[in-house]
Amino acid sequence: MKKALKFPVEKVTPSVKAILKAQGVSDSSMADDRILRLAEKTLSVYEKLARPIGIIRDISKTDFKDLFYGEGNNEGDAPLGSIYESSRHLALFAVTIGNQICSEIPALFGANDFAAGSMLDSTASEGTEKTAEALELFYRESLSRKDEYNPSIGIMRFSPGYCGWHISAQKKLFEFLQPAEIGIELNDSYLMTPLKSVSGVIVAGKKEIFVFDDLFYFCADCDNRSCRDRIKALMESNSF
């Protein structure tokens, strides 16, 4: 399977709470009215400019092994190595919310509207993650339709540049997936354009394969340890 999907922007619009949390406001009820009004105004800009789209393609373990090792720069104990080997299904993916919104962010900073620029940057990042979640849900539903998903199965996304998987794996990922079809390009530094894009692999397998401790030395470079929340949610989920 290889498929490109457009998502209704209202389906991948982040909440004010999520935006403010990304801005460092952990309790949105404590935000003053000016901040709340700015967040709501920023959401209107997001809904007007965002063009969420994704692409997904199944990949075999054999093909993914070559892609995973990429340029040979991975950490030797990268968790994804053992996770994909124990998986049942693998699919490469890439998502973006488009160039328009990515151009608006530096325009706001250039106009010295730093508050609006920062708020839109956080909103766009959260929206990109929501788009990746929507694509992950599509993949889960496609497995369900083939009777290849049940409550014992977990699904998680992994991206080059995280958890010891070197960012240079992007090169082979892009060669296999060809996300230029939906407007995503890769530069020589392995960074994507539009900037608000996410790529990687979606792994489906027994939930136990995803459990790992965040005690690797490269975990010290992670600024949010979001894997903890995702693993916890996966282990607690019983939904189809």
- Each residue's pLDDT expressed in tens, for the chain with a length of 240 residues: 899 999 999 999 999 999 999 998 888 777 888 999 999 999 999 999 999 999 999 999 999 999 999 889 998 889 999 999 999 999 999 999 999 999 999 999 999 999 999 999 999 999 999 999 999 999 999 999 999 999 999 999 999 999 899 999 999 999 999 999 999 999 999 999 999 999 999 999 999 999 988 777 777 777 777 788 888 888 877 755
Domain regions of the chain by residue span: 2-236
Integer angstrom CA distances of residue 65 from 69, 75, 144, 217 = 6, 15, 25, 23
Helix (H/G/I), strand (E/B), else coil: 219: helix
| SS3 of the chain: helix, strand, coil, percent, to 5 | 50, 15, 30
Task: Find all residues with CB under 8 Å of 162, minimum gap 6, and list them.
Answer: 222
Note the pTM of the prediction, 2 decimals. Answer: 0.92
Q: What is the pLDDT of residue 190?
A: 95
Write down the pLDDT at residue 239. Answer: 59
Cα separation, 21 vs 137, whole angstroms: 23
CB atoms within 10 A of CB 227: 18
pLDDT (tens digit, 9 = 90+) per residue, 119-144?
999 999 999 999 999 999 999 999 99
The dotted CATH code for 2-236 is 3.40.109.40
Helices (H), the chain: 16-22, 33-49, 61-69, 80-85, 99-110, 114-145, 170-177, 226-236
Tokens of 82: 């053992």
